[in-house]
Chains A and B, each alone.
Chain A
Amino acid sequence: MHFLQQAINGLGLGAIYALIALGYTMVYGVLRFINFAHSDVLMLGAFTGLYAAPRIGKLCGPESVTGAILVFIVAAAVCAAIGMTIERLAYRPLRNRPKLTVLITAIGVSLLIEFTGQNEKFFGSAPQAFPKLLPEKSMQMGSLLVSSNDVLTIAVTIILLIAMWFIVQKTRMGTAMRAVSFNQQAAALMGVPVDRVISFTFGLGSALAAIAGILYSMKAPSIEPLMGVQPGLRAFVAAVLGGIGNLPGAVLGGVLLGLLETFAGGNEYLSTYRDAIAFGILILILLFKPAGLLGRATIEKV
């Protein structure tokens, strides 16, 4: 039963990684670069939740379901706006520049958000307790102990994944996204508004990151401006593991990584290396199967 218990915990963690990984992989799909600032958008989502929760709690009553949904929506909207702003100001002017320039800018944006957040005039570097959004319960199922947070995380993730599938496969915007990801120039020639599609992609990815940030904070003891770095890094590894640019791959990678990390953490010999596992997997996958589990190998054309 210990095995099942760990599997449930791992699934809860993996669901969060999957949500973050989707943002990385979508942006990679349309722009072919890794948005280093994605993990910081997650942090901003968590802090939006921190500031919004008490005010919304006054409105809808503390720990109410409507309140919790409102907090999620507010954070997602704020972060979508932030993500689109970042894209507009920092990345769009560099669209046709060398890749290295865009990469350095992305690192710069990430550092800017992190260190501005650490400044005492903003969030400050001290950890802060995250408010309770919903009453926490643990259900006893046989010998299994399932926390309501894990159930919530998995449920929210499944709902969002279905929504994502619908957006990407069934809507006009989703079709445009796939077109831009397939061939940006051809899409532009066919009348796809490439700038709007890229902006939308950033907004969607950032909204997912915000929701993941709140789900992550509900489990974590406290939040601070560098909180996004670790989950962000692991979600990035998850995206690469599943095949970057591939949406189902990101989900698969996220869940796998969450499970691996939880099982390694439960093993007394491996637990000290828990943090090194993500990097170890990243290095191995990049060396042996750089296209990822579900990705297709691309041939470099000269």
Chain B
Amino acid sequence: MPLPGAKRWLLLGIALAVLVSCFSAQFNRYYLGVAVDVGIAIILATSLNLINGHTGQFSLGHAGFMAVGGYFSAWISLKIGPVDHASWYFPLSLLAGGLVASLVGLMVGVPSLRLKGDYLAIVTLGFGEIIRVVVQNTEAVGAASGLKDIPKYTTLGWAFGLAVVTVYVISSLVNSTYGRGFIAVHDDEIAAESNGIDTTRTKVTAFVTGAFFAGIAGGLYAHHKQFLSPTGFDWVKSIDIVVMVILGGMGRTAGVIAAAVLLTLMPEFLRDFAEYRMIIYALLIILLMLLRPAGLFSIPLKRRPTT
């Protein structure tokens, strides 16, 4: 189903994001910051949804790719330093961060995507942690004390513009002829293979694409918070993103976006929530799997058989 007028929506979305961004100086800075967080969360959740949801390859290492992209683009920004018009390089540094993250995604994906289910989950978790440990021991990016004084280039326009682009690219990809392969792999790998789909290639493509956007989200995050620390990218962060995907319903783009917005806003507006956040997330995961495995926003009548 090629979305009708999808390109128009894309342009409209970007135009809106840029327009809002022009007036953003008048908004409360706190709310503005939260809004940027929401945009970044949408990118992360949508990109993980491609891997975990559409393609059905359960990955627990998304924060690792986010870390790679974030650190790389922040490092570029710091190297260029306070040159005039340095902000002009910002999209390029984001792109570079995304590309490096996708390269790491390729390196991780090729060996680990031969595995399935439980094994894949634990190996991606391991790789995510290995990435974090490597960052923690790299002096060039501040090692354990973190990377400070990153210029603040991320605006509302960038965050939401790129979120729109991410959603557009991933839904177009999934809805294309090629992208049907992702869903075929998700539904039945053996049947997909018998129908001539190169399943390994499909899985690696999903993984690399997801890692690319995670890297971009990392870059946005770095230039938004202006500070990166390796502990911010541990497995708890990966779980955060996984919960968004599960809550929204794996493979349901609209649901995942809604879940990303909801779960980013909740800790901001419920102060007492922070202490119990992870406990509630854990309970949410269990209850959703028991009662609504297709996500909170799913229509229970229409059940799609999954493998």
Contacts and interface: CB of A to CB of B under 8 A. Distances in A.
Interface of A: 33-34, 90, 93-94, 97-105, 107-109, 111-112, 115-116, 118-119, 233, 236, 240, 275-276, 279, 282-283, 286-287, 290, 300, 302
A147 B204 CA distance: 50
Leading 5 A-B pairs by shortest Cβ distance: A108-B285, A112-B282, A111-B282, A115-B278, A108-B286
Given A97-B293, A103-B121, A112-B286, A287 B111 contact: yes
A144 B129 CA distance: 37
B289 interface: yes
Contacts of A118: 278
B279 A115 contact: yes
B45 to A, nearest CB: 15
Given A99-B117, A103-B117, A279-B126, 8 more contacts: A34-B122, A105-B289, A111-B282, A112-B279, A119-B276, A240-B119, A290-B115, A300-B190
Contacts of A105: 285-286, 289-290
B275 interface: yes
Given A100-B58, A112-B279, A112-B283, A94 B126 contact: no
A100 B117 contact: yes
A169 B56 CA distance: 39
Contacts of A283: 111-112, 123, 126
Contacts of B114: 286-287
Contacts of B278: 111, 115, 118
A291 to B, nearest CB: 12
A250 B131 CA distance: 28
B246 A104 contact: yes
21 contacts: A33-B118, A90-B286, A90-B290, A94-B290, A97-B293, A98-B306, A99-B307, A101-B293, A104-B246, A115-B278, A116-B279, A118-B278, A119-B279, A236-B122, A276-B130, A279-B129, A282-B122, A286-B114, A286-B115, A287-B114, A290-B115
Interface in B263-282: 275-276, 278-279, 281-282
Given A116-B279, A236-B122, A283-B123, A93 B111 contact: no
A104 B58 contact: yes
A233 B121 CA distance: 13
A288 B281 CA distance: 36
Contact of B56 (A100, A236, A279): A100
A211 B285 CA distance: 29
Nearest to B286: A108
Contacts of B239: 107, 111
Interface string B50-92: 0000001010100000000000000000000000000000000
B133 interface: yes
Interface string B281-299: 1111110011001000000
A270 to B, nearest CB: 15
B126 A282 contact: yes
Nearest to A99: B117
B126 A119 contact: no
Contacts of B58: 100, 103-104
Contacts of A282: 122-123, 126
Contacts of A290: 115, 119
B192 to A, nearest CB: 12
Contacts of B126: 279, 282-283
B279 A103 contact: no
A299 B109 CA distance: 24
A12 B293 CA distance: 43
Contacts of B190: 300, 302
A4 B282 CA distance: 45
B237 to A, nearest CB: 13
Nearest to B188: A302
Contacts of B276: 119
A275 B279 CA distance: 27
Nearest to A236: B122
Contacts of A108: 282-286, 289
A276 B133 contact: yes
B130 A279 contact: yes
A84 B126 CA distance: 28
Given A34-B122, A100-B58, A115 B307 contact: no
A230 to B, nearest CB: 11
A240 B279 CA distance: 30
Contacts of A115: 278-279, 282
A94 B307 contact: no
A48 B114 CA distance: 40
Contacts of B290: 90, 93-94, 105
B289 A101 contact: yes
B275 to A, nearest CB: 7
A114 to B, nearest CB: 8
Contacts of B285: 104-105, 107-108, 111
A107 B121 contact: yes
A109 B286 contact: yes
A286 B293 contact: no
Contacts of B129: 279
B83 to A, nearest CB: 38
Nearest to B291: A93
